[in-house]
Structure 1
């Protein structure tokens, strides 16, 4: 019919009383250098240089928490040393505002590690559960190998830039690690918390830690996971959410914009949800 040629199939469908089938949206534009998005059924929704080895900044702390949760009791108490505080200050890292002599539980230190991304908390946890930082990093690398993270190497527990032969990972490895970590209910609760308060006691000050992951307050059914930034790594975001009955986990590495990583992650979660819905 000539009307189809002039008006197009969608217009013709309206005229004759039919509706056109819905069409899934195209994948969002990703400015980050590397990206990877997978759901719990194993469907890959986006891949961009996902096997390229790059620094991942504070996403390293996901492995730190994973190792600690395997070895520590949440009620264990750790005394903060001057070295823990000075290490973070010297490296110009984000901190949990810890002070020498404070005694905090592992549970609270994990909040300090994962919400404000405290390098002081990372130092204290690694020092205790190595024991010693070098032994702890060795445990991180052994765990990476056991989990099949073949393109991941750790040199510290916090992701601060290291000298020659510094650490690296890939987008694919980071997603695989997050999937394993999120299977732990305690980890999932930690990274999904927006604010954690520690009341003042005789052995520590009061602390209030806010999650640096803005996605938690901007998109529904978000599970976490972790932000990161160094000059070498750029702005990074490991994220996860529930979409149409599946867990979707993704990562953005090497973005040049702090804000854009959250906007992109939100779009990627919604895009994955649409793909799942369309089958």
Structure 2
């Protein structure tokens, strides 16, 4: 009877021992599983970054990469660029002064506060000088030269339908000016003259002189001979476009040239037409007049020509009718892109406000107003 309780106790302790051992074995496994389910902070950050990268658009990533590459390139370029090269690039080249500015002609004042250093207004019928300012000064005249070019072409009575081809000789090496008339372009002499007078096309003007009987040298000699024949003793030409600053004249001489050129109907028509089209191969080129006043209904312009190179400043000559009077206007070395047109407007307003027989305003009177 005493043996049965002992057997029961042994069975109880054996079961207890087995349970404790099983619990001891299962606890490490449970902790390991828990660690596997709960990631570390480092793993959490990596996971969040991966998700953010997945959501970020490709173009944003590319932009950031490009910024980095650009910054690297800038840094590399800066490292390679010498200091003196940077200083040279930063230097600003001063504007080139015109001959009139160098001579101090802009310091001469006038009652109309003109922006041109040289001005002359003459009654075409009576030759009365209405206004003069430095009218004897000899200055570069830029593309006003083309009026003499046109005058010689017309007086030579050459065929206006003859075809002329632009060659490399017509390309500007003096100023590097651009032209839409490519080498090889063929137009009639009439078309070349129209473009030269209306839109101041330099290659067209040069081609007209080059194809003159005897060649360019003969043409330039004829330009100077014509000037002398007209009494233009302040005038000298070295080429037919006006790109050379050695083409020079005075306002007095240019008024004579305008008066003579105005007598030719072709020169009047070509110089004042608002626009013109020419067919070049399969293309049609549209050209416009360099003087916007020809499009204004308030102006009656019979002949005109503009000109510009840095040595000459902005230039303008016109034959026009104001208040019933036929006038010749000359403006040279005007400061500012539109100031020559502004000077023309100032003169027109002044003439319109004066009595029909108002006395001449001489240069001496202008200087006395200083």
Q: TM-score scaled by structure 2?
A: 0.62
For 1:18-56, what per-residue CA distance to the aligned partner results, in whole angstroms no more than 9, with x for missing partners? xxxxxxxx9522121111011122121110010111111
Q: Distance in 2 between matches of 1:269 and 1:130?
A: 42
Question: In proportion to residue count, which structure has more helix?
Answer: 2
Following TM superposition, by how much is the alpha carbon of 1:207 offset from its aligned partner in structure 2, in angstroms? 2.1
Shift of 1:116: 1.9
Q: 1:259 to 1:131 in 2, by over 3 A?
A: same
Name the structure 2 match of 1:124.
207
Q: SS where residue 129 of structure 1 aligns?
A: coil
The equivalent of 2:275 in structure 1 is 195
Q: Which runs of 4+ in 1 moved over 6 A?
A: none
Partner of 1:23: none
Kept in 2, the 8 Å contact 1:241–1:269? The answer is no
CA distance in 2, matches of 1:226, 1:94: 19
Q: CA RMSD in A?
A: 2.0
Relative to structure 1, the CA distance from residue 208 to residue 144 in structure 2 (aligned partners, 3 Å threshold; closer, same or farther) is: same
Contact 1:235-1:257 at 8 Å conserved across structures: yes
1:156 maps to 239
> What whole-Å deviation, never above 9, does each CA across 1:89-113 have from its counterpart, x for those lacking one?
6632353x11222221111101211
- Where does structure 2 lack aligned partners over 5 or more consecutive residues? 1-109, 359-370
Deviation for aligned residue 1:167: 2.6
Instruction: Quote the residue 1:75 is aligned against.
Output: 161
Partners of 1:76 and 1:105 within 8 A in 2: yes
Instruction: Render the CA deviation track for 1:205-255: whole Å, top value 9, x for unaligned.
Output: 422110011221244212341111111111111122112333211111111
Query: For the residues of structure 1 that align with 2:292 and 2:200, how far apart are their CA atoms?
Result: 13
**Number of aligned residues:** 246
Render the CA deviation track for 1:35-86: whole Å, top value 9, x for unaligned: 10111221211100101111111111111111111112322221222322xx
Q: State TM-score, norm by structure 1.
A: 0.82
Structure 1 segment 79-228 matched on structure 2, within 5 A: 79-84=165-170, 87-88=171-172, 91-93=175-177, 95=179, 97-162=180-245, 166-200=246-280, 205-218=283-296, 219-228=298-307
- CA distance in 1: counterparts of 2:248 and 2:308, whole angstroms: 14
- The aligned residue for residue 252 of structure 1 is 331
Greater relative contact order (CA < 8 Å, ≥ 6 in sequence): 1
Q: Give SS of 2:252's match.
A: helix
CA contact (8 A) 1:224 1:240 kept: yes
| Aligned residues of 1:27 and 1:271 also touching (Cα < 8 A) | no
